[in-house]
Amino acid sequence: MRFDIYKNPLNTRYASYEMSHIFSDDVKFRTFRKLWVELARCEKELGLNISDEQIKDMEENITNIDFELAKKYEKELRHDVMAHVKTFGEAAKSAASIIHLGATSCYVTDNTDIIQMKMAMELIEKKLVILIAHLSKFALEYKDLPTLGYTHYQVAQLVTVGKRASMWIQDFLMDYDELIYRKDNLLLRGAKGTTGTQASYMKLFNDDEDKVKSLDEKIVKALGFKGSLPITGQTYTRKVDYHVLQVLSSIAQSASKMTNDIRLLQNRKEIEEPFEKNQVGSSAMAYKRNPMRCERASSLSKYVINIVQNPALVASTQWLERTLDDSANKRLAIPEAFLAIDAILDILINVSDGLVVYENVIRLHVEEELPFMATENILMEAVKRGGNRQDLHEKIRNYSMIAAKRVKEEGLNNNLLELLENDPDFKMNSEDIKDILNPKNYIGRSSSQVEEFIRDYVNPVIENYNTEYEVQLNV
């Protein structure tokens, strides 16, 4: 390994081998050759003078790629596709004269891009479902555990730990639906010729439109797609790239929301991401347990959310049938967006599989705030016992100010309940107040919502997948 040149951290630190391999030269140029084989096979079936021996020669050399020779040809020709046409011809000599017959470069480059994106989306699909499965298990386990809710990052009505996790799951489930829609409706460019008119194929097939249409359909079917775009220029519309990366951006948004929540809760010492035995939280402060996994996922999420601007700019600035200012951008933006999302999902799978919940701390925080939340219920009960609603409300308001001052200015415990208990107008003892203060009286339908959501929405998705998967993070 060389250490004197820049290496992309997405490959060296974050993304999985599987995702990196999908966007490798090996997969890319083997796909070129598969496309050339299918083109020749379909052209032969439709009557062109191509032999079985030529097709067999091509098939036997799909993986026999001389990258050094291709590099030499590209330096000479300044054209990557023609360099690989020649390299393939050197390997499959009998077929050299018919490789790429009637095609434009985008026949292989664009169709390959779409094939690679579909492969990458299938890997993302698998990991997204695994994450949802892990979070669902967590949500069910903690569906009954009351915890402080927050609005504006200020204490609000109680929720449960599992209910909050269900909010994360719902976001990812929405992402899953979008991913499936885009993946299942991804169309190839097909065999459309130089400017999308199929003129070269019309020439090959003596203006037989049915054969030209059949060629496109046969190739698409052989490659496992449900169709090709009905209209193209030289390239498929670059809105396809934007739509695909929009889904990745959506996953990144969900990941950022989840990891930010965990980071806030880790500060409260309520929930903590996994922390390994020999892990160092800070080089200076030895006591620290930084949420570094969630921070990394959040950081990569920002990158993905930002990178979706690239295909948006490309799609909006393509001229007429095509300009080449898309190419360099696509080579960077599309693989890197997938690599980053792959890394994010691996991190979140790891985190969700080992989240630590500190139930006693959560209960302590609830107990500190519950007196304020319970005042309305206490007021109602005191009125039932003969008290005057307006007089008691004013007393609760005054006692609340006293208790809040004691907590904020003196650093002492919240004594609101003690103040209320000692006031004879409330006609309530400690046991009466204790009954009112059961946290489960304040979580509404949280537990049922979790159960219903997992049963009705999540399980029908995850039951179709194998969710056994162990992540090994590089750092």
CATH code of the domain in which 137 resides? 1.20.200.10
Residues 54 and 76 in one domain: yes
Q: Which of 245, 240, 239, 243 shows the shortest CA–CA distance to 317? A: 239
Mean local confidence (pLDDT), 223-242:
96
Give domain status of residue 142, yes or no.
Answer: yes
Domain end point (choices 95, 130, 147)? 95
85 and 120 fall within a common domain: no
CA angle 67, 70, 75 (to 5 degrees): 125
> Does residue 127 carry a pLDDT above 80?
yes
Secondary structure of the chain: what % helix, strand, coil (to 5)?
A: 65, 5, 30
Q: Are residues 52 and 169 in the same domain?
A: no
In a domain, 366, yes or no: no
Confidence band, pLDDT 50/70/90 cuts, at residue 150: very high
pLDDT of residue 408: 87
Tell me: pLDDT of 421 over 80. yes
DSSP state of 325: G
Residues forming a β-bridge with 147: 159
Task: Determine, yes or no, domain membership for 4.
Answer: no
With cut-offs at 50, 70 and 90, classify the pLDDT of residue 336.
very high
Report pLDDT for 235.
95
**Mean pLDDT for all residues in the chain:** 93
Q: How confident is the model at residue 282 (pLDDT cuts 50, 70, 90)?
A: very low
Instruction: State the average pLDDT over residues 30-51.
Output: 97
Instruction: Provide, rounded to the nearest whole percent, the portion of the chain with pLDDT above 90.
Output: 78
Neighbours of 27 (CB within 10 A): 16
Q: Are residues 77 and 121 in the same domain?
A: no
pLDDT of residue 285: 44
109 & 91 share domain = no
CB 147 within 8 A of CB 74: no
* CATH code of the domain in which 390 resides: 1.10.40
DSSP state, 98? T
Sign of CA dihedral 131, 132, 133, 137: positive
Reported as a pLDDT band with limits 50, 70 and 90, residue 279 is: very low
pLDDT at 2 over 50: yes
Residue-level pLDDT at 475: 64
**What pLDDT sits at residue 286?**
39
Assign residue 210 a region (left: φ > 0; alpha: ψ between -120 and 50; beta: otherwise): alpha
Position 178 scores a pLDDT of: 98
Q: Which of 21, 79, 97, 282 is catalytic?
A: 282
Three-state DSSP at 335 gives: helix
Question: Residue 387: left (phi > 0), alpha (psi -120 to 50), or beta?
Answer: beta
Q: State which of 313, 328, 361 marks the end of a domain.
A: 361
Judged by average pLDDT, the poorest of 26-40, 224-238, 426-440 is 426-440
Ranges 64-68, 85-89, 417-421: which has the least confidence:
417-421
Q: How large is the average pLDDT for residues 98-122?
A: 97
Residue 461 domain flag:
no
Residue 464: inside a domain, yes or no?
no
- Burial status of residue 198 (CB atoms within 10 A of its CB: 0-12, 13-18, 19 or more): buried
Residue 417 confidence class, pLDDT cut points 50, 70, 90: confident
What is the arithmetic mean of pLDDT over 57-66? 97
- The string of DSSP letters for 149-207 reads EEETTEEEEEEEHHHHHHHHHHHHHHHHHHHHHHHHT--B--S--SSSS-HHHHHHTTT
Of 285 and 269, which is predicted with more confidence? Answer: 269
Q: At what angle do helices 80-91 and 25-45 cross, to 10 degrees?
A: 70
448 part of a folded domain:
no
Q: Which of 416, 279, 323, 338 is nearest to 22 (CA)?
A: 338
Q: What is the mean pLDDT of residues 410-416?
A: 86
Does residue 191 or residue 282 have the better pLDDT? 191
The two three-digit tokens of residue 337, written as one number: 């967006």
Q: How far is CA 9 from CA 12, 20, 253, 293, 324, in A?
A: 5, 11, 21, 15, 27
Give tens-digit pLDDT for 376-395.
888 888 899 999 999 999 99
Cβ within 8 Å of residue 31, ≥6 positions away = 108, 111, 112, 115, 116
Instruction: Provide the token pair at 134.
Output: 């892990």
The region of weakest confidence among 140-144, 160-164, 319-323 is 319-323
Asked if residue 278 has pLDDT above 60, the reply is no
Cβ atoms of 72 and 99 within 8 Å: the answer is: no
Asked if residues 273 and 260 have their Cβ atoms less than 8 Å apart, the reply is: no
Give strand pairing partners of 357.
271
**pLDDT (0 to 100) of residue 233:** 95
Same domain flag for 18 and 131: no
Flag whether the pTM goes above 0.75: yes
Query: Do both 357 and 379 map to the same domain?
Result: no
Domain-ending residue, one of 326, 361, 396: 361
Q: Mark whether 35 and 182 lie in a shared domain.
A: no
Same domain? 341 vs 426: no
Helices (H) and strands (E) in the chain, counts: 21, 4
Give the mean pLDDT of 347-353.
95
Same domain, 379 and 357: no
Give the range of the structural domain holding residue 66, as residue numbers without chain letter.
10-95
Question: Is 100 annotated as catalytic?
Answer: no
295 and 314 part of one domain? yes
**pLDDT value at residue 431:** 85
Work out how many domains the chain is built from and give that number.
3
Average pLDDT (314-343) is 95
282 is catalytic: yes
pLDDT digits (tens, 9 = 90+) for 71-91: 999 999 999 999 999 999 999
What whole-number distance in Å separates Cα of residue 134 and Cα of residue 138? Answer: 6
Looking at residue 119, its pLDDT comes to: 98
CATH number at residue 17: 1.10.275.10
Res 430: pLDDT: 82
Give the per-residue pLDDT at 1. 63
* Residue 471, in any domain of the structure: no
Which amino acid makes up residue 415?
N
- Residue 115 and residue 82 share a domain: no
Residue 445 belongs to some domain of the structure: no
What integer pLDDT is reported at residue 287 of this predicted model? 43
What was the pLDDT predicted at 242?
97
